[in-house]
Amino acid sequence: MKPRTPSLLASLVCAAALVGALPARANPPEPTLTAALQDKTSVGQARLKVWGFDVYDATLFARSGFDPARYGEQRFALELAYLRNFEGADIAERSIEEMRRVAPFDDARAATWLKAMTDLFPDVKKGDRITGVHVPGSGARFYLNGRLLGEVADDAFSRQFFGIWLSPRTSQPRMRETLLQSVAGVSPRNP
């Protein structure tokens, strides 16, 4: 007896069922920063200076009622407007150093996150703006001068990354306080 081969129709039905079983991407990245910031307003701005040199201006965008103590659970955006030229690889390496201040993580995770940022972050010139959007449960999306660069689809990465500015363990407590100045009760000692 000759073995039966599945019909094309049966194969297509099985393929459609499998595709339907795959998890759908709930929130694809917005193609522009304007779309990503649609319902958010500026809640604070601060300038980072290192050894007397202006590095960047940071602006935090969030919805009304933003709670900095629960920043990892809320959608918000942080824009860095660069005041100097930097290589993307240097931004990524410095980010890893600062993320380790927020909470410890192993070397394997550091290598994965460093590669993701190095692949994503371009070299910046004075006047360029990189904006990161924290999407709880999904990860971080990044925009260069308003256009989508890409994303790091890792919620733990996103919480650690944005903790550089928003965690009470930041290396820049005064900057954090200034960014969060319109949010009641926030100071470097009182997150």
Candidates 48, 117, 32; CA nearest to 83 is 48
Q: Select the more confidently predicted residue: 24 or 90.
A: 90
Question: Which pairing describes strands 139-144 and 41-50: parallel, antiparallel, or unpaired?
Answer: unpaired
Query: Which pair of structure tokens corresponds to residue 188?
Result: 């470097």
Predicted confidence (pLDDT) at residue 182 exceeds the cutoff of 70: yes
Average pLDDT over residues 157-166: 97
User: What is the pLDDT, as a whole number, of residue 31?
Assistant: 78
Percentage of the chain beyond pLDDT 70 is 82
Predicted confidence (pLDDT) at residue 186 exceeds the cutoff of 70: no
Give the Cα separation of 152 and 116 in Å (integer). 7
Classified as helix, coil or strand, 39 is coil
Query: Which pair of structure tokens corresponds to residue 20?
Result: 């339907």
Query: Which pair of structure tokens corresponds to residue 35?
Result: 């779309």
Q: Which helix (H) or strand (E) holds 47?
A: strand 41-50
Using pLDDT thresholds of 50, 70 and 90, give the confidence band for residue 189: very low
Residue 47 CA from chain centroid, whole number: 19
Residue 174 CA from chain centroid, whole number: 21
Q: Select the more confidently predicted residue: 178 or 19.
A: 178
User: What is the pLDDT, as a whole number, of residue 26?
Assistant: 54
- In the predicted model, what is the mean pLDDT of the chain? 84
Give the Cα separation of 130 and 124 in Å (integer). 9
Q: Select the more confidently predicted residue: 125 or 32.
A: 125
Minimum mean pLDDT range among 36-50, 99-113, 130-144, 145-159: 36-50
**Structural domains of the chain in order of their starting residue, each with its CATH number:** 35-179 (3.50.70.10)
Using pLDDT thresholds of 50, 70 and 90, give the confidence band for residue 184: low
Minimum mean pLDDT range among 14-18, 56-60, 123-127: 14-18
Q: Are 92 and 98 in contact (CB under 8 A)?
A: no
**Alpha helices, DSSP H only, in 65-189?**
88-102, 107-120, 155-166, 173-179
142-to-29, 161, 164 alpha-carbon distances in Å:
9, 12, 15
Query: What is the DSSP code (8-state) at residue 148?
Result: E
